[in-house]
Amino acid sequence: MQFYALPLRRLPRCLPKDDEFFVIGDVHGQAELLRAALETIRTTPETVSIRHLIFLGDLIDRGPVEKGLD
């Protein structure tokens, strides 16, 4: 799985209908839950050639394992 970030101004106005999207909301330092979600995504059979992983919200602003997410 390859990760990259797009500046907000370069995001598309609509989502491609043939792509696959995984969206993760506020993580708040929950490193183990994030690892489990990423593993689930990694092991999900690929049904399309292009997959996107999108993070929304806070990753490390609070929670039990802030250091594990930096």
| pLDDT tens digits, one per residue of 45-57 | 988 888 888 888 7
For residue range 23-46, list pLDDT tens digits in order: 998 888 788 889 999 999 999 998
Which among 48, 70, 50 has a CA at the least distance from the CA of 61? 70
- 41: which DSSP letter? H
Q: What percent of the chain has pLDDT over 90?
A: 16
pLDDT attached to residue 60: 66
pTM attached to this predicted model: 0.65
pLDDT attached to residue 3: 59
* 24: three-class secondary structure by DSSP: strand
